[in-house]
Amino acid sequence: MLVRGIRGATTVEEDQAQQVLDATRELLQIMIEENQVDPEDIASVLFTATADIKSVFPARAARDLGWNLVPLMCFQEIEIGESLPLCIRVLMHINTAKKQNDIQHIYLRQARGLRPDIVEP
C-alpha cells in the first residue's frame, strides 16, 4: 500500500472559532468522501492557517470528527504579500492503493482560486 497526499483548502469570513471549526470540518468530510477514505487509513494530517486566524487550532475539527488517534499538526502559513486571507490549508496523508491521478484535491469557498487548474467549475 502507498502513502498519498490529498490537498485541500477553504476560507472563513472572519476569525471566529466556530466558523474555523465548521469550515475545516466540512473540508475534511468532503476530502474523505470524495476520495472514499476510511479514517482508519489516514496516516497523518497537516494543517496551516494564515496569520489572521488565531481563534482555534483547525486540527480540533478533526478531533471533533473522532480522529483521536490520527497524528495532527498545525502550522502558520508563510505570509506573502497578496496571499489569500483567512485561509486554512490541509495536507492529508492516506494509506491507499490509488494512483496519484485518482486523488481528488478539494478547494472550497475563496480557496477555489488557489488551484483553478484542478477545481471543477
CATH of the domain at 83: 3.30.1330.40
- Evaluate whether residue 120 is within a structural domain: no
Three cell numbers written together for 82: 497578496
Which residues neighbour 74 within 8 Å (Cβ) at sequence distance 6 or greater? 47, 48, 49, 57, 58, 59
Active site residues: 7, 63, 74, 77, 89, 107, 115
Number of C-beta neighbours around residue 109 at 10 A: 18
- Rounded to whole angstroms, the Cα distance separating 66 from 105 reads 22
pLDDT, position 117: 82
- Within a domain: 28: yes
The pLDDT value given to residue 59: 97
Separation between Cα atoms, residue 121 and residue 117, nearest integer Å: 10
Write down the pLDDT at residue 39.
92
- Does any domain span residue 121? no
Question: In this predicted structure, what is the pLDDT of residue 121?
Answer: 61
Query: Which domain covers residue 107, as residue numbers?
Result: 2-114
78: how many CB neighbours lie within 10 A of its CB?
9
Is residue 45 in some structural domain? Answer: yes
Cell of 28: 475534511
User: What does each of the 121 residues of the chain score in pLDDT, given as a tens digit?
Assistant: 789 999 999 999 999 999 999 999 999 999 999 999 999 999 999 999 999 999 999 999 999 999 999 999 999 999 888 889 999 999 999 999 999 999 999 999 988 888 878 776 6
In a domain, 43, yes or no: yes
- Domain count for the chain, please give it: 1
**Could you tell me if residue 41 is inside a domain?**
yes
Does 85 fall in a domain?
Answer: yes
